[in-house]
A and B are shown apart, each in its own frame.
Chain A
Amino acid sequence: MAKKIRIVLTLQLPAGKATPAPPVGTALGPHGINIVEFTKSYNEKTADKAGQVIPAQITIFEDRSFTFILKTPPAADLLRKAAGVDKGAAQTGRAPAGRVTREQVREIAQVKLADLNANDIEAAMRQVEGTARSMGIEVTG
């Protein structure tokens, strides 16, 4: 089929628990795609990853049909897991919420390399490290 693309966007959603409420409804509604089919399909594909945030990159075609692929969890989720914390610091700049090593940052950057639009591992690490610091997670070593 002549699947001409209208737009590409990513939704960061709780695995297995997407609903038509925002951000799904507000992001996809204006493009007029079958939102119920999206949430049903997304929840089926991510049911085994409950508790994680799994981004879906959605491609919407000119006739309002669509497709989507799942991406790697956000760097923030991987950092929380690596640091063993539930949440980032309540306020940026206060006492560190947790710590990760540079090696862990490198591992996360490696996992996320394809999704981060980074040219190389160093650039990907810089993004992960910046995210860590904004979450109040200290990078050591």
Chain B
Amino acid sequence: MTADLEAVEAVSEILSRFAAGGTSVEPGFELREEGLAAAVDPSRPATVRAYVPARDPVAAEAAARQAEVALGHLQAFGLRPIGELRTRLVHEADWAEAWKAHFPVLRVGRRLVIRPTWRRRRPRPGEVVLALDPGMAFGTGLHPTTRLCLAALERLADEDRLDGARVLDVGCGSGILAIAAGLLGAGELVGLDTDPIAIEATAANAGRNGLAGRLDVALGSLPSGRGPFGVVLANLIASLLVRLAPLLRAELGPGGRLLASGIVRDREAEVRAAFEAAGLRLVGRETLEDWVVLAAEPAG
């Protein structure tokens, strides 16, 4: 049922009397900071859901009626309006397995294949298969910013620019980009992230791809103190790329290549200007949906 935020605690309590497993609350929210942050919108009602076993339809019906009665009293207690209790039958599913359907084997570019760890895939000739366990760290391979970066990496490999190169992945998330670079022929790999969950995920995913010894992952940001690098990967967001531009430039060795992703089209000009000001020359650009990846090299 829907409820004013003020009544959510009370509604949730009433519904939880009949649903031992707990309740879910979906508030209205608005996105901020390029979609990186969300703030609850108190002017919009929240949806509170609870689940009662329907094996015994009579008991389920009785629970719904009792909840309705208890909910009916709420407004007398000075809480703002709530909606009507709505019920519907949800079919039982194997919840521990069903979510996996959202993660297919994914082909990116010509050669790269992202394989969720529970799926099988016999590599075809020339294919590079990356095993990944999607979880709490960003970089499942489903997002355009990740796919753009992967495709750009593949092109670098095709131009023989990745062979043996030292690669830095700034904001490595699940580790997907650094791992792809390693599988495509890069040498030493360094991953940085400010989120401890990402560090764990990157290390675990590196192990799954036989790269545990080659990918060094550390908590932190730029400067890495490990440069110079032949390739720097930065799948961040526009505002962060603008701020980090001089530091990204400083990580690159002569003839090094920066791949910067996570840029919405509207902010592309801003990032390009910051790169230019930091002494980076644009050498490539690809787009997918609303997103842009920029390739840049040290100028001069």
Contact = CB atoms under 8 A, between A and B. Distances in A.
Contacts of A7: 26, 29
A25 B9 contact: no
Given A3-B36, A134-B10, A129 B78 contact: yes
A61 to B, nearest CB: 6
Given A1-B236, A23-B23, A117-B5, A131 B138 contact: no
Contacts of A1: 137-139, 171-173, 193, 198, 235-236, 262
A22 B51 contact: yes
Interface in B150-165: none
Nearest to B74: A134
Contacts, number: 210
Contacts of A65: 134-140, 173-174
Contacts of A37: 135-136
Contacts of B219: none
Interface of B: 5-7, 9-10, 12-14, 16-17, 19, 21-27, 29, 31, 34-38, 40, 42, 49-51, 69-70, 73-74, 77-79, 90, 93, 95-96, 98-99, 101-103, 133-143, 145-146, 171-174, 193, 197-198, 235-237, 261-262
16 contacts: A7-B29, A8-B40, A11-B25, A12-B16, A13-B22, A22-B21, A24-B95, A26-B24, A32-B101, A34-B135, A62-B142, A63-B146, A64-B142, A67-B197, A123-B6, A130-B79
